[in-house]
Amino acid sequence: MKVVIVGAGALGGYFGARLHEAGAEVTFLVREKRAVQLKEHGLRISSQKGDYTIKNPNVTTDPNNIPEADLVLAGVKGYHLDGILEPLRVLSNKGAYVLPVLNGIEHIELLQKHLGNKAVLGGLSFIIATLDNSGHVIHSSDFHDLIFGPLYTEQTEICEKLQALFTKANFHAINSENILEELWKKYSFINAFSGITTATNLAIGEIREQPKTFQIAKELLKEMKQLANAYGAELKDEHIEEAEKKLITLQAEATSSMHQDRRKGLHLELEHLHGGAIRLAEKTGINLPYTKAIYGIIKPFEKA
Ligand SMILES: NC(=O)C1=CN([C@@H]2O[C@H](COP(=O)(O)OP(=O)(O)OC[C@H]3O[C@@H](n4cnc5c(N)ncnc54)[C@H](OP(=O)(O)O)[C@@H]3O)[C@@H](O)[C@H]2O)C=CC1
Ligand SMILES: CC(C)(CO)C(=O)C(=O)O
């Protein structure tokens, strides 16, 4: 299968390298600076699940240089989505399906609007990964899950083909029959986890030690359930309890990618995540006071 990775950052780099390791033909569509870095140093992933290096990754900065593509894995941050719409359109015109692995929900409709409903699959990931100064991927969690699935029944066949490929790769892939619900479950979890860790500038362990602070994360989960329900995703109390359990059982030093970005002084995905929830809530007349408060607290740190 011919795979294109758009956004060879932490997630794109990780899953691209794992798919290359599994024998897929992988091309990294990147911007100029990243192209130079990948050509000079190759792409290495450092992971407790096994290291892997692509010495000379197939890299391009122009989608027109890619003759064929079956799958495009989109791994940019929410604030970079606009910049990849045109390259994605070029590749989807060649027949490629687009599998976004971003956190959040608003991007699904945006991609469908630009590429057509049938070209966009549902996808998300549970992993803790980041890039080091040389652009290598550091994977630090004992999980590396890629959950994907059809948003339309016509996409069932391609998802089965993807599952056949992903099963050969060194990550945990799940072809979900209800990817929309999975997307909302992840969105709820991430808004609570990234919200509380980024706002307090603390890893989850220290937050858990303060019941009043941890309570805010629980309130964020409840608000996200209300929002998900308003958008037709049947999140139930048990899903919120599962998410709470995850927050309780994560390693004490675990933190969100948004908090890692705050620590590094990078641009934060606040508008895409909490901003997105507030916009969606306004459209349905729901009030999200905790989400709004967290958004306001993080806002001064948003811009790099
Ligand atoms: N990191 C994590 O542990 C997890 C992240 N996520 C989610 O996954 C998504 C991606 O996050 P992550 O991998 O951490 O992000 P990174 O910042 O590590 O990677 C994003 C990459 O996108 C590239 N990019 C931006 N614009 C373009 C463009 N126009 N063309 C090509 N490449 C481009 C950037 O390259 P450049 O060098 O050119 O800026 C960068 O390398 C986010 O939504 C995040 O919330 C989900 C689960 C876990
Ligand atoms: C919660 C986590 C680490 C799970 O993948 C994540 O998605 C993020 O921090 O962006």
Q: Which ligand has the nearest atom to the CA of 27? A: 1
Ligand 2 pocket check for 171: Cβ under 6 Å: no
Q: What is the pLDDT of residue 304?
A: 87
Ligand 2 site, residue 103, Cβ cutoff 6 A: yes
Per-residue pLDDT at 40: 95
Atom 43 (ligand 1): residue with closest C-alpha? 102
| Ligand (nearest to CA of 126) | 2
Which token pair is 280?
């969606």
Q: Which ligand is nearest to the CA of 140?
A: 1
- Render each residue's pLDDT in the chain as its tens digit; 304 residues: 999 999 999 999 999 999 999 999 999 999 999 999 999 999 999 999 999 999 999 999 999 999 999 999 999 999 999 999 999 999 999 999 999 999 999 999 999 999 999 999 999 999 999 999 999 999 999 999 999 999 999 999 999 999 999 999 999 999 999 999 999 999 999 999 999 999 999 999 999 999 999 999 999 999 999 999 999 999 999 999 999 999 999 999 999 999 999 999 999 999 999 999 999 999 999 999 999 999 999 999 999 8
**257 pocket-lining for ligand 1 (C-beta < 6 Å):** yes
Which amino acid type is present at position 226?
Answer: Q
- Ligand 2 center to 263 CA (angstroms): 15
Distance 236 CA to ligand 1 centre (A): 30
In the chain, domain spans = 2-177, 181-301
Is the separation of the CB atoms in 74 and 102 below 8 Å?
A: yes
Residue 103 · residue 187 · CB < 8 Å:
yes
210 alpha carbon, distance to own chain's centre? 28
CA of 237 to the centre of ligand 1 (A): 32
The CATH homologous superfamily to which domain 181-301 belongs is N-(1-d-carboxylethyl)-l-norvaline Dehydrogenase; domain 2 (1.10.1040.10)
Residue tagged 């980024």 (tokens): 198
Among 45, 35, 157, 147, CA closest to 99: 147
Classified by CATH at the fold level, domain 2-177 comes out as: Rossmann fold (3.40.50)
d(CA 169, ligand 2 centre) in Å: 21
Q: Which of 4, 5, 11 maximizes ligand 1 atoms within 8 Å of its Cβ, making it the mutation to test the pocket?
A: 11
What residue's CA is closest to ligand 2, atom 4?
126
Going by C-beta distance under 8 Å and a sequence separation of 6 or more, which residues neighbour residue 83?
76
Q: How far is C-alpha 225 from the geometric centre of its chain's CA atoms?
A: 19
Site to probe by mutation for ligand 2, drawn from 147, 189, 193 as the one with most ligand atoms within 8 Å of Cβ, is: 193
Residue type, 198: T
User: Would you state the structure tokens that stand for residue 147, as one six-digit string?
Assistant: 């959950």
Ligand 2 neighbour 27 (Cβ under 6 A): no
User: Crossing angle for the helix pair 211-230 and 179-200, nearest 10 degrees?
Assistant: 150
Measured distance CA(165)–CA(189) in Å, rounded? 28
